[in-house]
Copies of this chain bind each other. A is one copy, B any other.
Amino acid sequence: MAKQESIGIQAVDRAFDIVEALTELDGAGVSELARHVDLPKSTAHNHLRTLEQTEYVVHEDGEYRAGLKFLRISETARKQHELYQVARSEVDHLAEKTGEISALMTEEHGRGVFVYRSRGSEAARIDTCVGDRVPIHCTALGKAILAFLPADRRNEIVERHGLTAVNHNTITDRDVLSEELEDIRERKIAYDDEERLNGLRSVAAPILDGSNSVIGSISVAGPTHRMQGNRFETELPETVLGIANVIELNIQHA
């Protein structure tokens, strides 16, 4: 099959492809899966058997599903993450205080990853959730991180992923982005004005560790009609900044 130009252990690549396919298909039989990943049935079957043995895949009612053993990995990985340790409870605070959605993001492989999320009483129904990986340039959270990364790292990321438009408001021009990142560095606050999701605005602040490198960012997000005027421009930014400071203090004393 069309060589993916990817050098790496083939069997391992395929195993993960299969697991991902299983989640996409919401469970599947051997044949359906084999078709989806474009492999002979027997190969697919062989992988499924292996994965089932390791308990990462579950075989029930003639269907294979991704198992909950992945929860163990992801939960421990998350708990070991400094950002989650120090910021998690503050995200809850922020959500409660503002009534909106608050979220935590970190960067991995040049993309933004939602690490944690908390919903306030008025929180918008939103389809973003923990574990989602998004282009880093199209959210307040992502831009807050990007702004404070070392310049070479930042360029490398933009180089590798480009500035694809996710929305009509997404920043797609490098110069525009550079300028905005400059502002963000100054203010320590990033905005997202419907750059990823229509009708959604957000405010985010970076979180720096002891040696002043970004380990992630925190945000409040809500429907545009509620995110306006003084609240959007002053009130929320101040609240977010305050919380970010508290978190940074947590880091010092950890």
Contact = CB atoms under 8 A, between A and B. Distances in A.
Interface of A: 6, 8-13, 15-16, 19-20, 23, 26-27, 46-47, 49-51, 53-56, 58, 65-78, 80-81, 106, 108-109, 113, 115, 129-133
B23 A133 contact: no
Given A67-B77, A71-B78, A9 B58 contact: no
A211 B12 CA distance: 38
Nearest to A25: B80
For this chain, the copies found in one complex come to: 2
B69 A133 contact: yes
Contacts of A49: 8
Contact of A47 (B12, B58, B132): B12
Contacts of A6: 53
Contact of A70 (B8, B55, B70): B70
A69 B108 contact: yes
A70 B129 CA distance: 13
B72 A73 contact: no
Given A16-B56, A74-B74, A113 B8 contact: no
Contacts of A54: 8, 12-13, 16
A139 to B, nearest CB: 16
A15 B81 CA distance: 21
Contacts of A66: 73, 76-77
Given A56-B16, A131-B74, A47 B9 contact: yes
Contact of A12 (B12, B70, B81, B129): B12
A214 B77 CA distance: 30
27 contacts: A8-B49, A8-B54, A9-B11, A10-B11, A13-B53, A23-B77, A27-B80, A65-B80, A66-B73, A66-B77, A67-B108, A67-B109, A68-B77, A68-B78, A68-B106, A68-B108, A68-B115, A68-B131, A69-B108, A69-B131, A70-B70, A70-B74, A72-B132, A74-B74, A74-B75, A75-B129, A76-B131
